[in-house]
């Protein structure tokens, strides 16, 4: 294989892993960062932080690969996805499975570097969740809830890495992430609703029907209430709540975009959730800094 052919193949792998579309990485990373800062009281270990950031990139990439493998026969019927490398036949299913396995092994190697047995054990269900999520769209009415667990499993792992255990607080934060994922991925599903109805894939946008916008806003509210309650139990200050207020304002803007149920505004709202996660994280970080618990 010459250099040009190799570069083309690597470009296809990059597209298959969606490294050209980092929004998924950010939506996976923000809850993990919330957990790292809260579990370490604003002072996460540098090594742990590095492992989780890199692990997030690897596992999101692996999730995209297995998602395209699972949906390869469905994606050809959806306008937005029919040119994905696996669906278009530019990457073989065998290549995709090898790539998925390699990414998972790399992520597992990172976990082993931490030398924390509980984190290693938690990585097993984390991989299972990532690998099985794409197939839940065949039979779960709201597969986005399953996605929220898969995308948020870095939360209990972060607590285990920092505290050596997983307190109730971590599971509540995971629940908040489930509500957030249902909200933003319903916005995403609203984009493809017509195509998904034709091919028989189940999504929250289809299940919620004419109550889809209300469901999104309800899930947003649940996310903020749970995270706010966690902050209250930890006695966080005004900066934390300011971050939540900014996130709430952004969610309000999303309502104005999705209420018409038009494809592009709904997709815009989905992408804009990056700022929801960032606002909540900024509030957490600033609150600890103001409390004198400087990161180091």
User: Would you list the domain boundaries of the chain?
Assistant: 9-290
* 9-290, CATH topology level: Tetracycline Repressor; domain 2 (1.10.357)
- Give the pLDDT confidence score for residue 6 in this predicted structure: 73
The whole-chain average pLDDT of the chain stands at: 90
Q: State the DSSP string of 176-222.
A: HHHHHHHHHHHHHHHHSHHHHHHHT---HHHHHGGGHHHHHHHHHHH
CA atoms within 13 A on the CB side of 170: 23
Using CA atoms, how far apart are residues 292 and 294, in angstroms rounded to an integer?
Answer: 6
Under DSSP, the state recorded for 78 is: S
Report, as an integer, the average pLDDT of 18-35.
94
Res 262 pLDDT > 90? yes
Q: Is the pLDDT of residue 71 over 70?
A: yes
For 101-157, the pLDDT digits (tens) are 999 999 999 999 999 999 999 999 999 998 898 888 778 889 899 999 998 999 999
The pLDDT of residue 296 = 40
What is the pLDDT at residue 84? 78
Three-class SS of residue 167?
coil
pLDDT surpasses 80 at 294: no
**Residue-level pLDDT at 1:** 57
55-65 mean pLDDT: 93
What global pTM score does this model have? Answer: 0.91
């Amino acid at each position: 294989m010459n250099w040009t052919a190799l570069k083309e193949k690597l470009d296809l792998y990059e597209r298959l892993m969606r490294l050209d579309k980092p929004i998924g990485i950010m939506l996976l990373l923000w809850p993990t960062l919330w957990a790292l800062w809260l579990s370490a009281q604003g002072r996460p270990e540098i090594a742990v932080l590095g492992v989780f950031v890199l692990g997030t990139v690897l596992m999101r990439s692996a999730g995209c690969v297995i998602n395209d493998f699972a949906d390869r026969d469905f994606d050809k019927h959806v306008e937005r996805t029919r040119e994905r490398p696996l669906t278009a036949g530019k990457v073989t299913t065998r290549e995709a499975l090898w790539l998925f396995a390699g990414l998972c092994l790399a992520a597992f190697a990172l976990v082993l570097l931490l030398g924390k047995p509980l984190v290693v054990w938690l990585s097993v269900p984390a991989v299972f969740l990532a690998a099985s999520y794409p197939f839940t769209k065949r039979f779960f009415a709201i597969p986005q809830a399953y996605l929220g667990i898969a995308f948020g499993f870095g939360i209990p792992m972060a607590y285990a890495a920092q505290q050596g255990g997983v307190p109730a607080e971590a599971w509540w934060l995971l629940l908040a992430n489930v509500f957030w994922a249902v909200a933003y991925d319903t916005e995403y599903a609203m984009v493809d609703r017509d195509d998904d109805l034709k091919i028989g894939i189940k999504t929250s946008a289809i299940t919620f029907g004419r109550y889809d916008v209300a469901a999104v806003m309800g899930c947003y509210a649940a996310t903020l209430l749970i995270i706010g309650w966690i902050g209250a139990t930890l006695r966080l200050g005004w900066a934390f709540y300011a971050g939540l207020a900014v996130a709430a304002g952004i969610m309000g803007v999303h309502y104005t975009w999705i209420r018409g149920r038009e494809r592009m505004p709904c997709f815009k709202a989905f992408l804009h959730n990056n700022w929801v996660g960032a606002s909540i994280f900024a509030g957490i970080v600033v609150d600890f800094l103001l409390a004198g618990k400087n990161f180091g």
